[in-house]
Chains A and B, each alone.
Chain A
Amino acid sequence: MGATDMRSATMSVLVENESGVLARVIGLFSGRGYNIDSLTVAPVERDGSKSRITIVTQGTEMVIEQIKAQLDRLVPVYKVLDLSEGPHLSRELALIKVLGTGEKRAEALRLADAFRARVIDATTESFTFELTGATDKLDAFLDLMRPVGLAEVSRTGVAAIARGVKTIG
């Protein structure tokens, strides 16, 4: 890969679950001009002492190496893993509200079925679907739903993990 080629990277960052840690990570990205395409954070230890932040970002190989190194030097950071260096799984969850009646409503249901989206709420004029999948699957579903009455979306951002026995610990 050339020095100027951009690529997407999915970073997993294991951090001390303390006040301000997310601001530190986000401040690093804004202060140094890095992109954030997606950001997810939640505690992952049983005692709530550690959180896992998943960040999808873009940059040249040199910038991505920089981002890793910059994240790694933050005091409350335990581990930084660039999952996109190897095989990994990425999933997002979206809640999608579609409004409509008649044939459009039936079409929305058919599409949802094809994507294995679940109906989690319904009224005579609306459906709310729950859909889990890779980012591009969610994007494709939303594109299809737009003409049949897409009204509102809430997405979680990406959660990701390496395939196989590899762990972040």
Chain B
Amino acid sequence: MDGTIQGSEVMNSGAEAILRALKAQGVDTIFGYPGGAVLPLYDAIFQQNEIRHILVRHEQAAVHAAEGYARSTGKVGCVLVTSGPGATNAVTGLVDALMDSIPLVCLTGQVPTHLIGNDAFQEADTTGITRQATKHNYLVKRSEDLVRVIHEAFHVARTGRPGPVVVDLPKDILIAPAPYREPSSAPHRSYRPRTEPDQNRIEEAVALLKRSARPIVYAGGGVINAGPEAARLLTEFVRMTGFPCTNTLMGLGAFPASDGQFVGMLGMHGTYEANLAMHDCDVMLNLGARFDDRVTGNLKFFSPNSKKIHADIDPANINKSVVVDVAIVGDALAVLKGLIAAWKKDSTQQDRAALAQWWQQIDVWRSKNSLRYTQKRDPGSIIKPQYAVEQLFKATRGRETFVTTEVGQHQMWAAQYFKFEKPNHWMTSGGLGTMGYGLPAAMGVQVAHPDALVIDIAGEASILMNIQEMGTLAQYRLPVKIFILNNKYMGMVRQWQELLHGSRYSSSYSEALPDFVKLAESFHAVGLRAEKVEDLDRVIAEMLAVDRPVICDICVDEKENVYPMIPSGAPHNEMLLGPEHSASDNKPGVSDAGMALV
């Protein structure tokens, strides 16, 4: 630091200025991978102790790890990668964070400014490539802009609808001295997201809800993003109204799963009662969810007779696919505060008799027990994947447990059978559906919560997509537990091929799988295997007893499908139930139009 210029100190290098800005933004951990263009930053990291750097084995994993960190702490995750391939490898993670509204700042190295556009070694047009992969991105071309851009990147990432922000940093900018300024409290020139809802809309919503006969609350990831207080207020609101509540895949944990008013997850593999209640309700309150196609199914038949209230922080989510009657733009916390206050103020009496009748109907749907499955208990019986998740859940009750998943059947079984009471304990790739998400995300969670139990519920195909991160677990002694439901198939692909493509299992069988026990051992972890039902509880207990990374290879029924299921293109009330249910419960399946959907 040499003196001050115009109220700002000049730092010896851009790299030092960046680290100081990161500290001012509350960063304590960076997930990254070095390379030529970012060497000055790595040198600055080496010379300080306040920010910890976690060296991953692939840049995609750095981004997912930062996502896991962000989702379990509510803070902005921070990533550092080099230029060219470092940045392009990060793109999948960035889109994942964009789709799921996860706040991240990803610093990417870049060739020096005078070489930009020259096809220099490890040059890629990172801002061009990531423009549609981020909430916003920056290329810093002048040292005097550097610190302002870093502060701004964090502001953009964490405010409004959160998302990933890339800052592309040419190497000469990292080397040259740069002025440092503290974060400014002045509002941004053009970016001013709205968080406070319109009181009139809140009152209209409450008026509808008070007069409802068949209401439902449908809460999503926006409630999680608004912080634990929002989840607490959601619970308070649902209890004071007596309404049923369903959560999206992203919203699990926003409302306690053990609560009698919880009707389970909704959507393609949601419970029968949640989907039927959505279909038959007369007033729907959507809090922080976006009418995703996995939730609505066929839009033509989606909840045809309801008045819809939609509260979302992103105005672009409103009336995007489903036209709503009351639109509330705002942060879920502010919306919930408003709803609770307005509910208390509105003197209209609820129709308690109608609500009781609605609950009777829901209980009829519930009594179908749509998540039912049969596990044979005689020794030598094959393990059902649902049973494996249920036993895992039972064994971990009472411990501070975080669950991540990969993508596929195991992800749905985890969502159905692992019950979440609190927000921020469930991280899954919802929007993008990124196989390979779970292990690096679990790493990020474990870094943020060193003493907690962190489990990646995985499939044997997904886990191989970022298996190299076993090395990171070993290096940083992160005792992540990887619980593989191994059915030797890309199970969800196999399921769709069975149901939609005449059981032609094209490229969905995982030939030549590794021996996961030996694989674990080669990465300095513990490998365990359960082959029969009698092995399961012992293996889970061993896994939980070890204070080291563990891979559990749980050999499950290869032919098991995820049920219930709304076939593509079908309305909610034509849900398929599993083989446990009588054939008369099931109407046949998929239309030609539905075949084209994913």
Contacts and interface: CB of A to CB of B under 8 A. Distances in A.
Interface of A: 3, 15-16, 19-20, 23-24, 27-28, 31, 62, 65-66, 69-70, 72-78
Nearest to A30: B132
A20 B127 contact: yes
A69 B317 CA distance: 8
Contacts of A76: 190-191
Lowest 3 CB-CB distances: which A-B pairs, in order?
A69-B316, A75-B136, A75-B191
Contacts of A23: 128, 131
Interface stretch (B318-326, B547-555, B582-590): B318-326
A27 B319 contact: no
Interface of B is mostly: loop
Contact of A75 (B156, B314, B319): B156
A19 B139 contact: yes
A73 B316 contact: yes
B132 A27 contact: yes
A19 to B, nearest CB: 7
Given A66-B320, A72-B315, A77 B131 contact: no
B146 to A, nearest CB: 15
Nearest to A15: B190
A66 B316 contact: yes
Nearest to A19: B139
Nearest to B315: A69
A3 B300 CA distance: 13
Given A23-B128, A75-B156, A16 B189 contact: yes
Interface string B116-141: 00000000000110011001110100
A44 to B, nearest CB: 14
Contacts of A15: 190
A19 B116 CA distance: 14
Contacts, number: 48
Given A69-B318, A72-B315, A75-B156, A20 B323 contact: no
Contacts of B127: 20
B131 A27 contact: yes
A66 B314 contact: no
A3 B322 CA distance: 12
B190 A73 contact: no
B49 to A, nearest CB: 34
Nearest to B189: A16
B310 to A, nearest CB: 13
Interface residues of B, number: 23
Contacts of B315: 69, 72-73
B549 to A, nearest CB: 39
A75 B135 contact: yes
B119 to A, nearest CB: 19
Interface in B154-179: 156, 160-161
Nearest to A77: B190
A19 B161 CA distance: 24
A11 to B, nearest CB: 14
Contacts of B136: 74-75
Interface in B534-585: none
A70 B191 contact: no
Given A27-B131, A76-B190, 12 more contacts: A16-B190, A20-B137, A23-B131, A24-B131, A66-B316, A66-B320, A69-B314, A69-B316, A70-B316, A73-B315, A77-B190, A78-B190
Which of the listed residues A24, A65, A75, A78 has the most CB atoms from chain B within 10 Å of its own CB? Answer: A75
A141 to B, nearest CB: 38
A62 B319 contact: yes
A92 B392 CA distance: 68
A78 B189 contact: yes
Contacts of B160: 73
Nearest to A31: B132
Contacts of B128: 20, 23
26 contacts: A15-B190, A16-B189, A16-B190, A20-B128, A20-B137, A20-B139, A23-B131, A28-B132, A62-B319, A62-B323, A66-B316, A66-B319, A66-B320, A69-B314, A69-B316, A69-B318, A72-B315, A73-B160, A73-B193, A73-B315, A75-B188, A75-B190, A76-B190, A76-B191, A77-B190, A78-B190
Contacts of A73: 160-161, 193, 314-316
A23 B127 CA distance: 10
Nearest to A79: B190
A102 B193 CA distance: 63
Contacts of A20: 127-128, 131, 137, 139
A130 B189 CA distance: 38
Contacts of A3: 323
A28 B131 CA distance: 10
A27 to B, nearest CB: 5
Which of the listed residues B128, B131, B156 has the most CB atoms from chain A within 10 Å of its own CB? Answer: B131
Contacts of A27: 131-132
Contacts of A66: 316, 319-320
A45 B189 CA distance: 14
B562 to A, nearest CB: 31
Interface in B312-344: 314-316, 318-320, 323
A74 B156 CA distance: 11
Contacts of B189: 16, 78
A3 B321 CA distance: 12
A22 B188 CA distance: 20
A31 B132 CA distance: 8
A82 to B, nearest CB: 14
Nearest to A72: B315
Contacts of A75: 135-136, 156, 188, 190-191
Interface in B139-155: 139
A78 B314 CA distance: 16
A65 B319 contact: yes
A69 B130 CA distance: 21
Contacts of B131: 20, 23-24, 27
Contacts of A65: 319
Contacts of A69: 314-316, 318
A69 B323 CA distance: 15
